[in-house]
Amino acid sequence: MKAILMVFLGGGLGSALRFIISRGLNKSALDIPFGTFTVNIVGSLLLGLILGISLRTGSLSNNTMLFLATGFCGGFTTFSTFTFENQVFLRTGDYTNFALYTFGSILAGFSAVFIGLYLSKLG
């Protein structure tokens, strides 16, 4: 039961923060949804840092990992919104922004995880 509570609390905080950031950044004059892009990349970086620190030091408890990695990062990032936004690009025939957003998100997301893992080794 405590594990579910940790995921619930972390997910709630992550989702609320995602809402605030996305609401502000998705109002851009440009067509790319920068709010979703930002939370997904920052969430990937945070996950890399959290997992890297946990692997390197073993100092994060299971409950802390559930709160931060599963809960917060899981609630903060959003694959469903990313895929919905991409289907809008496809439906409207905006193939350029579809390609930029899709491949940019994947490349930046993987890079952010690796950067987070790397940075966790420096501490």
- Is the pTM value of this prediction over 0.85? yes
Terminal CA-CA length for the chain: 33
Tens-digit pLDDT profile for residues 58-89: 999 999 999 999 999 999 999 999 999 999 99
What the block records as the tokens of 24 is: 């502000």
What is the C-alpha to C-alpha distance for residues 51 and 115, in angstroms, rounded to an integer? 12
User: Predicted confidence band at 31 (pLDDT cuts at 50, 70, 90)?
Assistant: confident
How distant, in Å, are the alpha carbons of 5, 23, 46 from that of 112? 28, 22, 8
Lowest mean pLDDT among 28-32, 43-47, 52-56, 87-91: 28-32
Angle at Cα 120 formed by Cα 50 and Cα 80, nearest 5°?
Answer: 40
* 4: DSSP letter: H
What is the C-alpha to C-alpha distance for residues 93 and 80, in angstroms, rounded to an integer? 20
pLDDT for 63 equals: 96
32 Cβ contact partners less than 8 Å away, ≥ 6 residues apart? 97, 100, 101
